[in-house]
Amino acid sequence: MFQSMSTKVCLALLLALALLLSVVAQEKPLPVIPWLEKHEKDIDSLKSLQIPSEVLKNCMVEINGELILDMSADFWCRLGVNEQKQYAAAYQVWYARKHGLELEKVVNLNGVPLVMRLIPPGKFWMGSPENEIGRENDENRHQVAISKSYYIGKYEVTQLQLESAMGNNSSSFKDSNTPARGVSWNDCQNFCGKNSLKLPTEAQWEYACRAGVTYAYCGTSPDEYGWYKDNSKDMIHPVGQKSPNSWGLYDMHGNVFEWCLDWKRDYSSEEVSDPIVLSTASERVFRGGSFSLNAQSCRSGNRGGSEEGNQGNYLGFRVLLKLTEK
């Protein structure tokens, strides 16, 4: 009797093993991407920065002959927020080394430094998924390719930087290390024109804000990264007091809204490359939320806008430098 039971158990185990081997045999191997072979040295150097092979095989794409990170890939979107932050930061370091670029560049504003961070090219999801808490109707999610690297302000432009660069302060606020605020879009254009800088496009701004993270904020908690209604005590705070995102940028959530170059219009539903809205509308875009709003209004995908001359005390800016300009 016991021998019969033992035989049945063995047969059952053998059958289960055979089924398991059958399933494994049917699994598709990781795709072989022919153009990855010519980027073998790049892949090896990315691996040396602790980016797993699985991520590289599923999330690297070639645009104009250059290897870039696709942070809109399904595989990437299934990663946890801390994994996304770690690998995006490593990608930034790798890109800087490969192209001999500085991670940080300093622009001199009449003796006052303005520090900027390198943003590598890549692909990402702009906007927000339909199930994101606080999502607005103008946040249609779509894929965007940023094809060229650029530098963007490590911090929001401060009162001191504004006054030093312009010889006067168009804002009614004068405390030096807080963000310049009470500035209109036109004021920002004057500042940029005088200093060979630009406002970022809305796509460049959101790409830099997310820094590889596909979730609502650039990390796990808005408290860690920004000043908003629940933690600001209804006050604007000096720049750089919260944690930076994975590309080294501070205060992308809250503190003051940041003007962008574009007019505010509905997003495209198609995948686009380096989008910019130049056709006239009633409002210019601003992004990032402010010290007086709730956390949901400071999400990476949240959009705002106003007329060019608005000098509300919640309005500031951050500047962009193209690599070819300085």
- Are 187 and 195 contacting, i.e. CB atoms less than 8 angstroms apart? no
Is 101 contained in some domain? yes
Average pLDDT over residues 253-274: 96
- What pLDDT, on the 0 to 100 scale, is given for residue 162? 93
Residues 295-309: tens digit of each pLDDT = 999 999 999 999 999
Domain count, the chain: 1
Tokens of 281: 């509308």
DSSP string computed for 168-208: S--SS---TTSBP-S--HHHHHHHHHHTT-BPPPHHHHHHH
Is 9 contained in some domain? no
- What pLDDT, on the 0 to 100 scale, is given for residue 279? 87
Q: Is it the case that residue 170 has pLDDT exceeding 50?
A: yes
Q: Is it the case that residue 26 has pLDDT exceeding 80?
A: no
Is 180 contained in some domain? yes
- What pLDDT, on the 0 to 100 scale, is given for residue 323? 87
Q: Is it the case that residue 27 has pLDDT exceeding 90?
A: no
Is 229 contained in some domain? yes
- What pLDDT, on the 0 to 100 scale, is given for residue 1? 46
Average pLDDT over residues 53-77: 94
Is 20 contained in some domain? no
d(CA 282, CA 265): 9
pLDDT band for position 23 (cuts 50, 70, 90)? very low
d(CA 179, CA 208): 18
**Residue 296, burial from CB neighbour count under 10 angstroms (0-12, 13-18, 19+):** middle
Question: What domain range includes position 190?
Answer: 34-322
Residue that wins the pLDDT comparison between 323 and 93: 93
Tokens of 100: 């001999």
Q: State which amino acid sits at residue 118.
A: L
Three-state secondary structure of the chain: CHHHHHHHHHHHHHHHHHHHHHHHHHCCCCCCCHHHHHHHHHHHHHHCCCCCHHHHHHHEEEECCEEEEECCCHHHHCCCHHHHHHHHHHHHHHHHHHHCCCCEEEEEECCEEEEEEEECCEEEEECCCCCCCCCCCCCCCEEEEECCCEEEECCCCEHHHHHHHHCCCCCCCCCCCCECCCCCHHHHHHHHHHCCCECCCHHHHHHHHHCCCCCCCCCCCHHHHEECCCCCCCCCCCCCCCCCCCCCCCCCEECCEEEEEEECCCCCCCCEECCCCCCCCCCEEEECCCCCCCHHHHCCCCEEEECCCCCCCCEECCCEEECCCC
Average pLDDT over residues 317-322: 97
- What pLDDT, on the 0 to 100 scale, is given for residue 64? 84
Q: Is it the case that residue 14 has pLDDT exceeding 70?
A: no
d(CA 68, CA 121): 6
Q: Is it the case that residue 117 has pLDDT exceeding 50?
A: yes
Is 28 contained in some domain? no
Q: Is it the case that residue 239 has pLDDT exceeding 60?
A: yes
Residue that wins the pLDDT comparison between 88 and 37: 88
Q: Is it the case that residue 173 has pLDDT exceeding 70?
A: no
Is 216 contained in some domain? yes
Average pLDDT over residues 255-261: 98
Residue 50 belongs to a domain with what CATH number? 3.90.1580.10
Per-chain mean pLDDT for the chain: 89
Residues 179-229: tens digit of each pLDDT = 999 999 999 999 999 999 999 999 999 999 999 999 999 998 899 999 999
Is 13 contained in some domain? no
